[in-house]
Amino acid sequence: MKKITFLAIMLIITNVLFSQSIKDLDNKNGFKDFKLSDSYSLWEDDLIFLNNIGNDTKLYNYEGNCCEKLFEYDIAKIALIFKENKLVSLRITTRKLQESKDVSGKSTEYYGKDAQSINSSLAFLFGEPTSKRVPENSSAVFYDWESENILLISKYDFLGTFSGDQMEITIGLKSYIFRNIKNGF
């Protein structure tokens, strides 16, 4: 009985010492070298302008050498949004997690082990998601981590039984994201 009690206490202590919390999302404040509120001039040599998306707000593709992986998964593209020349949001899109049937010879498994692994890794870093959404008439699955200042959205994108799947991770300042939602309605 003493061994069981000791093991239970050690498990609780280990959990407390190594568990992360949503506060770590504010501390991280971005992704790898990208920090929210970075100046446009810090990244301008590696950006390709896509379009204006509002007053003093511009969308760019990042074409530099940073950040080729999200955990162990290849990144297809990174999009950055600057408002008044400050980074307010970034979106990381993985390469296909499961290749299309014509490449792999297999049908796409809905929300397969790779998508689960990415969300498990995010949960390890920032605790359990603050919400999960599955929009009606959609195959997408959203997990949200909302801290005091940052919103992280993990979107699973099922491209079809024969087409594969991918993930999009959006990290943004809540002040920017929520202001845009309110302005759009």
CA distance 80 to 141: 22
Q: What is the pLDDT of residues 121-143, one digit of tens each?
A: 999 999 999 999 999 999 999 99
Task: Choose the weakest-confidence range: 2-11, 22-31, 36-45, 59-68.
Answer: 2-11
Q: What average pLDDT does the structure give for the chain?
A: 89
Partners of residue 151 on adjacent β-strands: 146, 172
Q: What is the pLDDT of residues 5-23, one digit of tens each?
A: 443 344 344 344 444 699 9
What pTM was computed for the model? 0.85
Reference 86, options 153, 34, 20; nearest CA is 34
Domain ranges, ordered by start, for the chain: 2-183
Please determine, for residue 85, whether its predicted confidence score (pLDDT) is greater than 50: yes
Question: At residue 145, what are phi and psi to the nearest 5 degrees?
Answer: -120, 115
Say what the pLDDT of residue 55 is: 85
